Structure 1
Amino acid sequence: MIVRLNKAVLHVLDLDSAVSVLSKAELDLEEKPVKSYVQSICRKALGSTDCRHGNFGTDNALATKVSRYLHGADEFVPLTAEMAGFVFGEIQRADGVKSTDMLVADFMDGDDTRYLGLFLLEGKKAFVHDVSQAGSMVSCDIVRRYGVLPAATQKLASWAIVRADNLEISYVDKPRSIDGQDVLVLPEGLLQCSSEASARETIDCVTEIVEQVAEEHGANAALALSKAKAYVAEQVDEQDSFSRDGLAEKVFEDSEPARKAFETAAEVRHLPERVAVDRRAVAQKRVRCHRIVTDTGIEVSFPAEYGDDPEFIQFSTEENGLISIELKNIGSIENK
């Protein structure tokens, strides 16, 4: 995934000393290690399917400031310092938090879409070697370093990116206990934005409802789930969303009571009639493939669309109530 950096800055929020160090200068992106690290952080955020989505509320003061910056009316470093100062004040009041650095990046993706990214980098302790010399005596020792930044490949617990063209927000955050209440500092405190389910949460919700309804109405849950995944993958490939009613019709086409039960459960879980899902989530193996494990310990993994195609796999229920699975048209078998 392509990430082009425009600007970046790092602010230090040192909870151990209760002092924040707000940088007055941007990071030097000509330094390859710095550039590579920031790009990696931004790239992971853009590729995330765990993020929730939201929008700024009306009369949101921060939204106005972010918009002014993105349109060239405000400066980058002062805006980021103001945001870092707010976050420092909030996490300072939280229980059991670690010293944290706040990385802010102005960047673009491969489609030239511009973003403003806010990333909280929790410091960690690490052991490193230390070489010292006294006269002709060279000694090597092990010392502990504090405030080590997370690895570039590590999944961050708290971040948000604001899309420049429409100010839509994607975020991941973890609850912090402040004054006895769990608070999401970025979406609830700093950004004060709305919250919609992530792509992963939406898909998990659909599969849970399908499995529950199938089991309650005597349908083959494995077959129902593979049909649901195949339908979602097919629809989202074409239009980034799928119909709740269409999914029910596809999965429970032979049972009107099951379809009604699905609709009732979907309403209870607040699943909208038209469900938007990020294509990146559907591209993952967990959606494209369906995996089942029998009570005899046999595991079978197959492309979800094959679940509804008797030319490749067929489920049948015997007279004694046991289930048989038949795999068909296999040209070769590879041991793994």
Structure 2
Amino acid sequence: MTIIDKAALHILDTAGSSLLSAAELPLAGEAGEYLLAHIEKSRKSPDKKAGTFYDDSACRKELAAYLAGEVEFLAFSRTLAESFLRALSHAADVAPMMLFVLEAHEDERRELIVFLCRSHAGFSPAVIDTEGGLSAELSACASLLPSVSATMDEFAFVDLATFAVHVRAKRYTVDGNAIFVLPELVLECGQAPSAREALKKARETAKKVAEAYGGDAIETAAAVKSFVANELAEKDAVNPFEAGREVFRENPAMQADYEQAIKEAGFAAPVEMDKESILKKMRNHKLKTDTGIELVIPTDYFDNTEFVEFRRGEDGTISITLKQIQNIVDRG
């Protein structure tokens, strides 16, 4: 169970209305529950990337000073906020944002957690005292936080024992260049591909190789999904290279082309994956035909001709046969 030990909330506004808090954020009641819910949700994100601090990272040095007791938590959090503001002051079209800096622990493992979210426009009820008595009206609000069911725009988790980093960030146009501000300019760390990126690249590369050799791209994509699902049954990481070796095991030339494309794309090492979230995405295979028909087929059934069969006609068209159907439910 994760326990939040300390928290700070800062408002970042490059237009000049920033507020760097002078006190820690109280965690009692719903505030703590809100942050814990986002911690749990962010941990499972398939978009998070493993990161490694650069050798000369100023953030890592500041973090080491904090861990050594040389800097108080609130002062350290304000330093992070100031780093964001310096970087974002050179960025184009940046809306006001809220920065959460947390220290948490789970058993003996301590973490620094950073959440960054943009202000969301909305309305809230306001009570107005009129001549006839109290009246309820709507008041425009431009600083609503993401709901518990939504996802923080950006986040970072730093293991305070190993300094391992996991980050989800967005690009900003800074001085004309597209830059991931959170990892590159604030934390100063490199990023490995995310689970979502690795799976997408493996699937798309396998499809292109299959098509180049006259194979079936749809069946190949499904085979990649099946491989990943089987791997995650025993492991916490999947190697994109191994996907190609398995899917194209009977054709060394296709294996070689696949591996070359994966290597050129920078996917060299196994990619860590959250089993629950990835396997959930692997349950179904979604298809859309050029005639507008959409199908959702369970991955387990995709290559089982007792339930689904694909046939390619002499004219190049594809026929799909669904078998053993006893009942159809109208979902419209």
Which band: TM-score by shorter chain? 0.7 to 0.9
In structure 2, the partner of 1:11 is 10
In structure 1, the partner of 2:94 is 97
What residue identity is the alignment partner of 2:289? T
In structure 1, the partner of 2:18 is 20
How far residue 220 of structure 1 moved from its aligned partner, in angstroms, is 1.4
Give percent identity, aligned residues only. Answer: 28
| Structure 2: distance between partners of 1:206 and 1:19 | 45
| Structure 2: distance between partners of 1:310 and 1:236 | 25
**Stretch deviating more after TM superposition (152-161 or 216-225):** 152-161
**Stretch deviating more after TM superposition (144-153 or 188-197):** 144-153
How far residue 56 of structure 1 moved from its aligned partner, in angstroms, is 0.7
- Once the two structures are superposed, residues 2-38 of structure 1 have per-residue CA deviations (whole angstroms, 9 ceiling, x without a partner) of 542221111223444x1433223222212x1211222
In structure 2, the partner of 1:317 is 312
CA contact (8 A) 2:285 2:298 kept: yes
Matched, 1:193 2:186: no
| Structure 2: distance between partners of 1:298 and 1:125 | 37
What residue identity is the alignment partner of 1:196? A
Matched, 1:40 2:34: no
Q: 2:103 aligns with which of 106, 111, 117?
A: 106
| Structure 1: distance between partners of 2:294 and 2:194 | 29
- Once the two structures are superposed, residues 201-226 of structure 1 have per-residue CA deviations (whole angstroms, 9 ceiling, x without a partner) of 00000010011111121111111111
3-state SS of 1:203 partner: helix
How far residue 84 of structure 1 moved from its aligned partner, in angstroms, is 1.1
CA contact (8 A) 2:44 2:274 kept: no
In structure 1, the partner of 2:212 is 216
1:120-131 to structure 2, matched below 5 A, reads 120-131=116-127
CA contact (8 A) 1:130 1:140 kept: yes
**Stretch deviating more after TM superposition (271-280 or 210-219):** 271-280
How far residue 192 of structure 1 moved from its aligned partner, in angstroms, is 0.5
| Structure 2: distance between partners of 1:46 and 1:113 | 15
What residue identity is the alignment partner of 1:92? S
Given the superposition, is the C-alpha separation of residues 75 and 332 from structure 1 closer, same or farther in structure 2, using an over 3 Å criterion? Answer: farther
Q: TM-score, normalised by structure 2?
A: 0.87
- Once the two structures are superposed, residues 255-286 of structure 1 have per-residue CA deviations (whole angstroms, 9 ceiling, x without a partner) of 3433332223223223326454442442122x
Give the root-mean-square deviation of aligned CA atoms. Answer: 2.7
CA contact (8 A) 1:132 1:139 kept: yes
Unaligned 5+ runs, structure 1: none
In structure 2, the partner of 1:284 is 280
What residue identity is the alignment partner of 1:6? D
1:156-305 to structure 2, matched below 5 A, reads 156-272=152-268, 274-285=270-281, 287-305=282-300
Given the superposition, is the C-alpha separation of residues 244 and 128 from structure 1 closer, same or farther in structure 2, using an over 3 Å criterion? Answer: closer
Given the superposition, is the C-alpha separation of residues 275 and 42 from structure 1 closer, same or farther in structure 2, using an over 3 Å criterion? Answer: closer
Q: 2:54 aligns with which of 30, 54, 57?
A: 57
CA contact (8 A) 2:45 2:274 kept: no
How far residue 116 of structure 1 moved from its aligned partner, in angstroms, is 1.0
Unaligned 5+ runs, structure 2: none
| Structure 2: distance between partners of 1:29 and 1:169 | 24
In structure 2, the partner of 1:151 is 147
How many residue pairs were aligned?
Answer: 330
3-state SS of 2:189 partner: coil
Matched, 1:66 2:63: yes
- Once the two structures are superposed, residues 273-332 of structure 1 have per-residue CA deviations (whole angstroms, 9 ceiling, x without a partner) of 6454442442122x232122334444333232433444443434344544344445x374
In structure 2, the partner of 1:333 is 327
